[in-house]
């Protein structure tokens, strides 16, 4: 127990920069991530949530984040993917970030992302 108290005392004396560096080192060593805490659920909901199995996400949204330098190529790909007309595709591209396809399977989302990135756009899958 004296060892633990000594560790607590040492950690209490760290500067903010040293604490951040320690956090990074521990994340790397243990292969974890120091994520922000999630808002607490009401006591009744916590037990119910723990009993439910975790569902893997099966539907994804493809979001056109930025267009990049090759706007014309991106517009062509958007037209091919969505079936929109030239004006609608151009308006969608110029309004980025915008959802491009919603509720698609992971494989399709990845394929769309690759096509758009090859055309010069930045794409997010949510």
Rg (the chain; Cα; Å): 23
pLDDT of residue 83: 86
Q: Rounded to 5 degrees, what angle do the CA atoms 27, 15, 24 make? A: 10
The domain tally of the chain equals 2
pLDDT of residue 46: 52
21 and 69 both lie in a single domain: no
pLDDT along the chain (126 residues), means of 10: 83 82 83 63 53 69 86 89 86 86 86 88 87
Position 66 in a domain: yes
pLDDT of residue 42: 56
Position 37 in a domain: no
pLDDT of residue 10: 86
Query: Terminus-to-terminus CA distance in the chain, angstroms?
Result: 46
Q: Is 87 helix (H, G, I), strand (E, B) or coil?
A: helix
What is the model's pTM?
A: 0.53
CATH number of the domain that 97 lies in? 3.30.1390.10
13 and 64 both lie in a single domain: no
Length of the chain: 126
68 and 11 both lie in a single domain: no
17 and 64 both lie in a single domain: no
């Amino acid at each position: 127990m004296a060892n633990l108290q000594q560790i607590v005392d040492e950690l209490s004396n760290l500067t903010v920069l040293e604490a951040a560096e320690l956090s990074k080192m521990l994340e790397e060593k243990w292969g974890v991530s120091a994520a922000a805490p999630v808002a607490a659920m009401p006591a009744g909901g916590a037990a119910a949530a723990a009993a439910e199995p975790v569902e893997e996400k099966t539907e994804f949204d493809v979001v056109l984040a930025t267009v990049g330098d090759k706007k014309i190529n991106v517009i062509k790909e958007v037209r091919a993917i969505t079936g929109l007309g030239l004006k609608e595709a151009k308006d969608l591209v110029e309004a980025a970030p915008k959802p491009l396809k919603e509720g698609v399977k992971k494989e399709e989302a990845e394929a769309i992302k690759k096509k758009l990135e090859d055309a010069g756009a930045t794409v997010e899958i949510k």
